[in-house]
Amino acid sequence: MIPASFEYRRAGSVDEALGWLAEDPDGTKLLAGGHSLLPLMKLRLATPAVLVDIGRVPDLSYVTDAGDHVAIGALTRHRDVEVSDVARAEVPLLSHVAGQVGDPQVRHRGTIGGSLAHGDPASDLPAAVLALGATLVVQGPGGTRDVAADDFFRGFLETAVGPDEMLVEIKVPKARGGWAFQKFNRRAQDWAIVGVAAVVDANGSGGRVALVNMGSTTVRARGTEEALASGADAADAAARAADGLEPPSDLHASAEYRRHLATVLVRRAIEEATAGRA
Amino acid sequence: MSATVTDGVLAGGSDIVGTRMLRREDPALLSGEARFVDDLVVPGALHMAVVRSPYAHARVASVDLSAALAMPGVLAAFSGADLSGEWASPMPCAWPVTSDMQSPAHYPLATSEVCYVGDAVAVVVAASSSEAQDAAGAVAVSYEELPAAVDLEDAAGDRVLAHTGSPSNRAYTWELIPDADAVERAFATAAVTISERYVQQRLIPAAMETRGVCVVPQPFGGEFTVYSSTQIPHILRTMLGMTVGVPEGRIRVVAPSVGGGFGSKLDVYAEELLCLALARRLRRPVRWKEERTEAALATIQGRGQVQEIDLAADEHGRLLAVRVRLLADMGAYLQLVTPGVPLLGAFLYHGVYDVPAYSFTCTGVFTNKTPTDAYRGAGRPEATYAIERAIETLARRIGSDPAEVRRRNFIGRDRFPYASVAGLVFDSGNYDAALDAALELAGYDELRAEQARRRAEGDPKLLGIGLSSYVEMCGLAPSRVLASLNYVAGGWEAATVRMLPTGKVQVVTGASPHGQGHVTSWSMIIADKLGVAPDDVDVLHSDTAVSPMGLDTYGSRSLSVGGTAIALAADRVVEKAKLLAAYRLEVAPEDLDLAGGEFSVRGSPSRSIALGTLAFEAFTAHDLPEGMEPNLEASATFDPTNFTFPFGTHVAVVEVDTETGRVDLTRYFAVDDCGNQINPLIVEGQVHGGIAQGVGQALWEAAEYDEAGNPLTTTFADYLVPAATELPSFTLAHTVTPSPSNPLGVKGIGEAGTIASTPAVVNAVIDAMAHLGVTEIEMPATPERVWRSLRAAAHRTTEGAR
């Protein structure tokens, strides 16, 4: 439980952090809330040579109404997303999911940017931003670029954020339809065995459904979405929840059981989202 | 000794005993003032890190320490061969259960063969713990991997040997078969027989504080002070002396605040021996603190059995015989009481039922896994689980309500003391009363109606109601009984009560608390005995220099054995004080009454003298009766003549989501009878924690290994201990049937919750699905297992309909 030795630097600005990243992109890790990185370091599964603490970089913690979307700073803690009036009013799925992450200690330390950039398919927030069709703003030596959530999660613990870049903002379109989040875990504080974030279009013509822990990345339930778009009811759409997916088998659940759970939870999510709209 | 307490603590007139006094221990624990081993500041202490085998079974080809020795801060590093001269004997197993028991020699560091993942092969000593850990990673050990015996039943067949060179994986076979013919006859003629197989998965004790040890050579006299997070400072002192070859009297063992043990610290561990040997060798304090992941490898685990239980019954479900065969997973080595743990349940597989014929056989088997040993309940939860699961199967078989079948078989209230078929004498009991109270508390009939309603309506959330009626044997233990079981020590407990010149009281106990609240309970007993405030009582414990005689804390023994010793010692103080009071008041001792800390003359209460005054006079010794020694102090040692037999009935209510297999424990009712209660608040706390721990086994916890013997549950993300969020509020009630086996009438409550709750919850899970054809579920009852059981039952139904 003691990490390997590393050099610690505290960044005062995004530029300073990016400058240090550029010096040794592969040996340097950014530290925000530390709730994913530090456990890996304590288990010595991660041994960065340099840790750049961005926790005190100013002006990266906010939830603001930006007209057609809500803009959220990457260092905003889960708890602040959970209780933000703007988030609750305009992107209620996201604020609800932020309130389901881990336990209160995790939610008061962990940041939305850290959770998304970690790219863990078992995390809840990636599914929420995927279902909401968010855009992620990534800053690097050449400036900032926008990445659609659909293009952000590339592989297990791998995202579109390059080794010399950092995630700075999440733009979440204001949601107009019904929504629901289903999290199935064995204890309240655990990662989801399977989770579902669903957004159903206001006119009832379809929706976006994203799944937690159903593959090597956060994924959309494309089969379900297609069925919804062609007018299927919740049960029929949910039956296709695991179409084309290869969920993991681990200590807590087999792939077969995850596939089954996905169909049950997606059905419940669609029913709940639809009921919420009425 | 046999003794009676002259002023029965609970025979009326108790002011403090029986009240819900807040625990005196808690302010220090809650404020962080309590000091645990790792909090001790020991100038100049060196930190030890242990290099452990990553293989379940391997030959150690070579150990290269050179890179580690070159690391910053490193003072020394040793392989097993380097330290082989330090040991006077192998690590101790105090319970050779049979004369032919096989016990492979077990040394703190392996030299040629490692037998489980976590087996220690080398140590590094450095100026800081982080430097020691970094250097431990630089020790280069060359292994030649060997096939591993992992699965218990497979290991029992000797396909792969857990220790090369041993003739078999069998450690022992132990039988309790009073009348084999009677058992055979019963099964041959019974109207109903059932045969069940249950798996008791391995559990990680997961005390809040991991283990730790710090050994400090004393500057004068060649002595050692051993600070250890242990339940057994006295036993540890003796074993350290025998194993490391230091005269016992030169070792002082101190258990500072200890953050839980649950049996896992009722042991003598390699790290304790290593720190002592290294402190002796290096003449420096040496300390070690266990990592949480290390605890999943190097601290003993609990349970680990495959149980086969057969019941024979008549057509009404009246039991005629119980037959049990166990395979018990010893792990790689026999620790302090490893082989005896399953046998603590050997006498209780007929549970609370009057059974005429009985057969018990247990085979202990070595595997290439972490050693097992005592874990909360130790043998008795396993026994209770088997009989309480099987009795519900019997009830289903004959189509009777499980409560009714239990009632038909209970040992009747008028049968106590009850000589059991297994050879115990149950001193007291009233099982019907506890069952009745539990059913009423739970609203059993309403629950059954609700269950039927949900089934009729096709509700996807089914209701399950599970019962568990238990009896345990506590108060370990009568020394003569231990002798008959080949245990190498006795079961007494010692105490001293000392009145100081100021009238304050010191109590010295041989019990060693690590969360139980002894300080509170002992001071409550003394408060009533001597008429002082509980806060005026200091309880000294867990330091062999202060409390040289004792047998420590385990097996729900502290109150019934240690608490009785306290009461007896206090009576002796009162007896002496009474002689002094009679002398001062110039009356006969028989004419004096003690109340509220004052002796007064019967009939003329104005003539009185306070116990505190007498304490001062006994201290000055200016004017004592002829022949009386100064000071008011007395010691007592209590060796019980029988175990105590707590009992009760628990009722668990679960909801099973048939779509996902999820089980929610929604309500829990417990009626326990631990005899007289010193502090009901402490009783309830023990029951709460015990229930949670037992429910953990039923629904969440399992120490898992892969086929090669690699442990898979080494963090709390994978080994799931339930938290408050997973548990409902428990509804508790009690019946009070005082134990005649000790003068306090107490029994012990530390393990009852764990013993009762596991079968209650699993019975509830099966009960929810029984109408669908589900009859078995392996523990823990994970959502996937429940889902698969439902699916398999549905498949059987479909097949059957064809």
Are B783 and A2 in contact (CB < 8 Å)? no
SS3 B292: helix
pLDDT-derived band at B1 (thresholds 50, 70, 90) equals: very low
Choose the closest CB to B660 out of A187, A254, A264: A264
Choose the closest CB to B718 out of A4, A188, A251: A251
Query: Alpha-carbon distance B327 to B311, whole Å?
Result: 18
Residue B370 is predicted with a pLDDT of 98
Are B293 and A187 in contact (CB < 8 Å)? no
Query: Chain B closest CA to A199's CA: distance in Å?
Result: 22
Mean pLDDT in residue range B208-217? 98
Q: CB–CB of A123/A111 below 8 Å?
A: no
List the pLDDT tens digit at each of the 278 positions of chain A: 789 899 999 999 999 999 999 999 999 999 999 999 999 999 889 999 999 999 999 999 999 999 999 999 999 999 999 999 999 999 999 999 999 999 999 999 999 999 999 999 999 999 999 999 999 999 999 999 999 999 999 999 999 999 999 999 999 999 788 999 999 999 999 999 999 999 998 776 799 999 999 999 999 999 999 999 999 999 999 999 999 999 999 999 999 999 999 999 999 999 999 986 54
**DSSP secondary structure, B350-388, as one string:** TTTB--SEEEEEEEEEE-SSPPB---TTTTHHHHHHHHH
B753 burial level (CB within 10 Å; 0-12, 13-18, 19+): buried
Query: Alpha-carbon distance A151 to B778, whole Å?
Result: 43
pLDDT (tens digit, 9 = 90+) per residue, B496-548? 999 999 999 999 999 999 999 999 999 999 999 999 999 999 999 999 999 99
Which chain B residue's Cα is nearest to A260? B660
Any idea what DSSP says for residue B711?
Answer: B
Residue B7 confidence (pLDDT) above 90: no
Residue A2 is predicted with a pLDDT of 86
Residue B14 is predicted with a pLDDT of 64
Which chain A residue's Cα is nearest to B657? A264
Lookup: tokens for B239? 């074993």
B654: nearest Cα among B737, B498, B766: B766
Residues facing B303 on adjacent strands: B202
B26-34+492-638 folds as Aldehyde Oxidoreductase; domain 4 (3.30.365)
Tell me whether A199 touches chain B (CB under 8 Å).
no
User: Based on C-alpha coordinates, what's the Rg of chain A?
Assistant: 18
Strands A153-155 and A158-159: antiparallel
Are A2 and B787 in contact (CB < 8 Å)? no
Are A190 and B717 in contact (CB < 8 Å)? yes
Residue A276 is predicted with a pLDDT of 67
Residue B798 is predicted with a pLDDT of 83
pLDDT-derived band at B162 (thresholds 50, 70, 90) equals: very high
Query: Chain B closest CA to A64's CA: distance in Å?
Result: 33
Residue B11 is predicted with a pLDDT of 41
Residue A1 is predicted with a pLDDT of 75
Query: Chain A closest CA to B784's CA: distance in Å?
Result: 6
Residue A40 identity (one-letter amino acid): L
Which chain B residue's Cα is nearest to A267? B659
Query: Alpha-carbon distance B391 to B317, whole Å?
Result: 9
Contacts of A253 in chain B (CB under 8 A): 783-784
Query: Alpha-carbon distance B566 to B508, whole Å?
Result: 8
Residue B222 is predicted with a pLDDT of 62
Tell me whether A235 touches chain B (CB under 8 Å).
no
Q: CB–CB of B440/B419 below 8 Å?
A: no
Structural domains present in chain A: 7-53 (3.30.43.10), 63-173 (3.30.465.10), 178-277 (3.30.390.50)
Residue B12 confidence (pLDDT) above 80: no
Residue B800 is predicted with a pLDDT of 74
CATH architecture of the domain formed by B429-473+645-802 = 2-Layer Sandwich (3.30)
What residues does each domain of chain B span? 26-34+492-638, 429-473+645-802
User: Based on C-alpha coordinates, what's the Rg of chain B?
Assistant: 28
Query: Alpha-carbon distance B74 to B282, whole Å?
Result: 13
Which chain A residue's Cα is nearest to B781? A186
pLDDT (tens digit, 9 = 90+) per residue, B667-694? 999 999 999 999 999 999 999 999 999 9
**DSSP secondary structure, B638-707, as one string:** E--SS-B--EEEEEEEEEEETTT--EEEEEEEEEEE-BS-S-HHHHHHHHHHHHHHHHHHHHT----B-T
Element (H, E) at B612: helix B611-620
Tell me whether B153 touches chain A (CB under 8 Å).
no
Residue B802 confidence (pLDDT) above 80: no
pLDDT (tens digit, 9 = 90+) per residue, B343-369? 999 999 999 999 999 999 999 999 999
> Locate tokens 């509020």: which residue?
B729
Lookup: tokens for B460? 């996807």
Q: CB–CB of B371/B334 below 8 Å?
A: yes
SS3 A152: helix
Residue B6 is predicted with a pLDDT of 38
Lookup: tokens for B340? 């005896």
Tell me whether B128 touches chain A (CB under 8 Å).
no
Choose the closest CB to B660 out of A188, A191, A261: A261
Are A4 and B662 in contact (CB < 8 Å)? no
Say yes or no: do domains B26-34+492-638 and B429-473+645-802 share a fold: yes
